[in-house]
Each structure stands twice: as structure tokens, then as C-alpha cells.
Structure 1
């Protein structure tokens, strides 16, 4: 979804380009966004499902699967015991709670009460991100954090991409949070031009306006306002990190080749501003210069699996995920390659996998959508969250 933000050098061209007709219901906003401040989580779930049933523009024949993928959810501890610890997981821009299916299940096995959010503007139709506001996203995270803290004493926050920005901001202002789990945290954008987004938002509604490719777990189009609100989350959390260090445990998983995030800058923030000795950063890439023993480098070039490098989204999913896994039902062929390569991708029997925008002669690359080191990541999550 954030691929458009990595192409901000073409923003002025996008303003003048013709756009897909707004007659497409995907590109027509709902009248209003749903309420997210219910007094209990079950009411939030019930109200959100009702709203999605009424407002979602379905993109596949399986409406129930679409609803389930976009619904927030709760998982009790897998051992059936009353929860002693809990975690709130927050998805990224244009994404859905589905992105935590694998991580959430593993956290449940580790004894967590797991909850996910659906950020306002998500789950229904891409045009609803015209109505989104980063302050409302932050308030939703704060509200549901408080609901968890009323129920469980030890509360962790986890987030992917934009969601990682939001939960980090919450933790920096809420001393009662026990720690953070951050997956591809989009704290520092790869593009140096994201500061232009608020201006472009005054001139153009869309950064990327597409018809659906059948992927019901995330939006295929991106409004300029949605990207602008993402930018505001980066500005907020970076300012907080200038003024504060974070001394609770944190696990960060980061691709060195992330097309959305300035990975080196985020690594530097980890070294300088996240100072708990039990913290851990997984660097999925080749070697990197560091003297910080808390950083573990795991090679991202795995020819035996036909993986060239890791993508922004790949860190979250297990290889056996039925939708995004190695043999999953959905393949992302729109991957910043040549048009010829993208045409070959759907039926290729010799497919490689990479981040968005990676190209290599004589190879066709789809997006890498699973993590070969998933079990190792899960094991480290347990170590970090057990640290006192």
C-alpha cells in the first residue's frame, strides 16, 4: 500500500494525470466513519461488524472471508487460563487486522490476551481514507489501550508500519505500557519528499487509484489524505523520540531493503533512543555496521528459496499462511518491475521474491509475502516479552 509514498518524486505528475472515474464505488467515500470509542471491546466488535456489512465494497465472491479479514478480533490465551498479560496490535496504512493472523496466534500461545484494531478509514473502501485523521487514529489506539489496562495489568503494544508509529507514540506518553513489538516501523520514510504530502493533499485526492485485484486484506488504491495522515504519524513519533528515550523492552523487525522505510535511520534510532538491554532488533539483510550487540543480522538473500531480499510486509507472515504464505492463494505481481515481467509473473513456474521495486536480469519477481525466519522471530518475541 505504501508503494506510492516511495514514488513521491512523481507527485506533480500525478496531480495532472487523469484518474479512474469516481463512479467506481471503491473510490466513493462513505457518509461517515464508524464509532470506535465503545465502553467495552465486545460492543466495539459488534458495532464494527454491522458497519462493515453495510459499507464495505466487496472485491471477491467470498463476503464472509472479506469481513473476517477486516474485522478486529480478540484471542484469549491459548492455555485457557485467565490472562496475566495482553497485547494490542495495530495494522498499517491501507491494511487490515488480517496482517496479525500469524503473529497474533503465536502471542496467544505465549499466554497473551490478543486484541487488534481496525483503524478509522480502513476495512470498507479505499475512498474512506479521504475521511481519515491521524489524531483519530491515535485516539483509537489510546482508547483501546485503556480498555485493556482496565482488564489486565501487563499490557504490551504492537504495530506494523504506520501502526508501529501509533503504538510507539502511545508508549512514549503512557508509562504503564510494558513494552513494544514493532514490525517494519515506518518512523522514518524512505522518501525525502513526504513533507510535500500536505500540499499535494490540497490538489489531488489520489496517489494511486486502481481497480481491485481481488486482495481483500488491504486496499489497492491510496488517497492522498491517507498518505498525508501517515506522514503526520512519522512527524509526531520522531519529535517524541527527539525529546525522550524509551527504556522498556522493544522488539523491532526490519528489512534492510524496505522500499517504504529508511531502515538505516530506524536502526540508528534503535541504537540511540531505545536503551533497554533486553531489546532486540532483527535486521533482515546483509551485514550492517553496528557495535550494538542487541542487533541480529539475518541474511535476506536466500537463493534456495528463490528470495532476493525481504519486503516491507513479509516479516509478519508464516510460510504456511493460506493467503500470503509460500503456497498461499494470493500472489502480488505488481512489484515495481517492468511491464513484461509483471505479465509473466502470474503463471511463472520459476518465480523469485523480493521487496517492491527490486529488479534483476533474467528473473521475474513477485512480492515476498512471508518470512522464512518466522519461527525465530516468534521465539525472540517470547524472550523480549519475558524480560523484566
Structure 2
């Protein structure tokens, strides 16, 4: 009996040790510290949720703009790091993050420097903005290694461009790449202007005082011209890395609308063409007319967005959000990708 008791005690102690060694509570403190440095003082969020660690701050427009972690209270086999697009926020990655989390993975949804804030004029005219994005991408990928055994990186629009650049520069750092309306090419007129001497100085003048409040509480009302040229710097860097023969051998998932004129699909296809790993491309037919920013929106997000169209001076194509009619199919294709690779 004494021997049995000792064995049971040892088993219980071992189980307790394994459970504690898998704990990720200390990772939440690190996550909070990262965003304290970026946003200033942080605070508790107004509507806490189970299995969600969110970092809220008074400097943000609202809690929906806050970065967050969807977790399983332990280290998972895979952790996915998601980066949002230019002028928007983690809100736009919500349905994608939830779908990945439901598969049993931890998910880190980041907030790029300069975004989600009540005051962003200084950020959106910072000559070091692209480099600040790059530093944050690297920092968050390094951080996420404490949440999963294999790290996958995903990005919407600008977030996709930054994720692609990181992977081309660090080919063995992550297991897979996911792109949603990936910004690896822009309209040719925008790209041409980016090469004009002094264009960023002119962009600052045209931007004036950058406004952050508008009809969408989770997005800036316009893309700052200056920050758009910071994005072209990243896109041109990706092309240069491809031209130089940077190694790329990993599973890539990309979802893109053929009607997207903001970030033409040619950029994504160029990246896939040099990838020696498996590619999975989810194309949305042109006739469905899914706009660039709408690819990541489902009906629930659209409802929660409470977009106030009455604040628009005029209704132009793609400036009133709509749900992606192929959203559920896109998430199913993403799920198959993560299951397979």
C-alpha cells in the first residue's frame, strides 16, 4: 500500500509539473509590456472574454482596436501570428483568428505601430514608420515562440507584405505563410509615384493633419498618402529579395479577390512562383466584385462594425464595407491548409 501511495504521489507531481511547464500566463505579461511601450499606459478591457487576452489602452479609439491573444491556456502545437492592414486594426482579423483558434491553435493578433489610435498624425508621418513595422513584426514572431511549437505567420494587405518580407529575410523562422489580400503589388500609378524624388514630402503636405475618427470605428477614415509610400518601400523590398534569389520553401496559403484593384493579385502570384514549397491559392471570381478590404469581413463583423455611411461625403465604389460572400469557403480552405501542413 505504501508503495502504491508513493507511485500515485509521484504521478500527481509529474502531471502538475508538466501542466505548470506548459502554462502561458507569463507570456501575457510579456505581451502587455510590448504594447505598453507602444501605447503608453494599458488598462483592463471593458468586456473581458474567456480564452482571450487583450491589451486595451486609453490611447486607442476603442477596445475593438486592441491587440489580443486567443489561447487554450497552454502551449499548442501551432501558433499563428496575424498582422492587419494599413489604416485598420486587429478587428478585421477577428473571424480568421476565431476560425484558427477553433482548430486548437493559439493565435496572436497584433497591432502595428501607428494604428488604432485616437491621435496618429505623428505616427502616420514618421519617416521611420516602415522600419517600426518591421521591428514589431520581428518582435511579435519572436514572442509567439513561447505560445506554440511551430510558428505560422499571416497577414491582411500590408500585414501580408510585411510577413512576406520577414520570411524572405528569415527563411527558417516560421513554418508557413498565410496571405489575405496580400499587399505585394499596388496600382501601377501608385508604384510609379513612389519613385518620384520628394514625393513623401509632398504627401505630408497633402495629408495635412491626419484624422482618425470616421464612419468606421475600427479603421481610419483614409489611408495617409505618406504611409502608403512607406508600404511601397516594403513591396519593393520583397521584389528585390525575390530577384536576388532569397530562398523560399514553405507552405503558402493565399486568399485574393480577382476584382481587387488596390493590391493586384500579380504580386501574390510572383511570390508563389518562386516558392519551392506547396502553394494553395483561394481565388474569388471577378464577377463577385469583392473589394480589397472586404475579403476578411463576414456578416457578423459587418453587423458589429456599425459603419455610419451618413458620414461619407459621397458613396464611391468599395468605401462602404460589405461581407465577403465566399468568406465561409475561404475559412474552410484555410482550415484544410493548417490541417495538412
- Fold conserved between structures, TM > 0.5: yes
Is 1:195–1:231's contact at 8 Å kept on the other side of the alignment?
Answer: no
CA gap of 1:99–1:135, structure 2 versus 1, over 3 A, is same
Shift in Å, 1:44: 2.3
Q: Secondary structure at the match of 1:205?
A: helix
SS at match of 1:260: coil
Q: Which residue, out of 130, 141, 147, partners 2:143?
A: 147
Q: How does 1:215-294 map to 2 (within 5 A)?
A: 215-242=216-243, 243-263=245-265, 265-277=266-278, 279-286=279-286
C-alpha separation between the residues in 2 aligned to 1:386 and 1:129? Answer: 38
1:319 matches 2:319 = no
**Structure with the larger helix share:** 2
Once the two structures are TM-superposed, the CA of residue 271 in structure 1 deviates from its matched residue by 4.8
Instruction: Provide the aligned length of Structure 1 versus Structure 2.
Output: 291
Deviation by residue 1:51-105 (Cα, 9 ceiling, x = unmatched):
578xxxxxxxxx899421221111103xx55422111111111111111111111
Q: Which residue of 1 aligns with 2:9?
A: none
Is 1:164 aligned to residue 117 of structure 2?
no
Alignment correspondent of 1:71:
66
Correspondence 1:370 to 2:323 = yes
> CA offset at residue 266 of structure 1?
2.5
**TM-score, normalised relative to structure 2:** 0.75
Q: What SS does structure 1 have at the residue aligned with 2:230?
A: helix
Name the CA distance, whole Å, in 2 between partners of 1:64 and 1:200: 30
Q: Is the 8 A contact 2:36 2:42 kept in 1?
A: no
C-alpha separation between the residues in 2 aligned to 1:106 and 1:119? Answer: 22
Selected match of 2:85 from 92, 96, 107: 92
Give the equivalent residue in structure 1 for 2:179: 182
Contact 1:191 1:260 in 2 (8 A): no
Aligned counterparts of 1:333 and 1:262: Cα–Cα separation in 2: 30
Q: Which of 124, 133, 141 matches 1:129?
A: 124
Indicate whether 1:138 and 2:145 are aligned.
no
Name the TM-score, length of structure 1 as normaliser.
0.67
Q: Residues of 2 paired with 1:113 and 1:208: CA distance?
A: 38
Distance 1:108 1:64 in 2: 28
**Deviation readout 1:142-199 (Å, 9 max, x if unpaired):** 1111111244220000101111010111122221301011010110112334243362
8 Å CA contact 2:169, 2:246 repeated in 1: no
Aligned match of 1:40 = 30
Q: Is the 8 A contact 1:168 1:180 kept in 2?
A: yes
Which residue of structure 1 aligns with residue 15 of structure 2? Answer: none
Partner of 2:204: 205
Whether contact under 8 Å (1:317, 1:374) holds in the other structure is yes
Please report the RMSD computed on the Cα atoms of aligned residues, expressed in angstroms: 3.0
The answer to whether the 8 A contact 1:126-1:220 is kept is: no
Say if 1:319 and 1:46 are closer, same or farther in 2 by CA, change over 3 A: same
Could you tell me which runs of 5 or more consecutive residues in structure 2 were left unpaired when the two chains were aligned: 1-27, 44-57
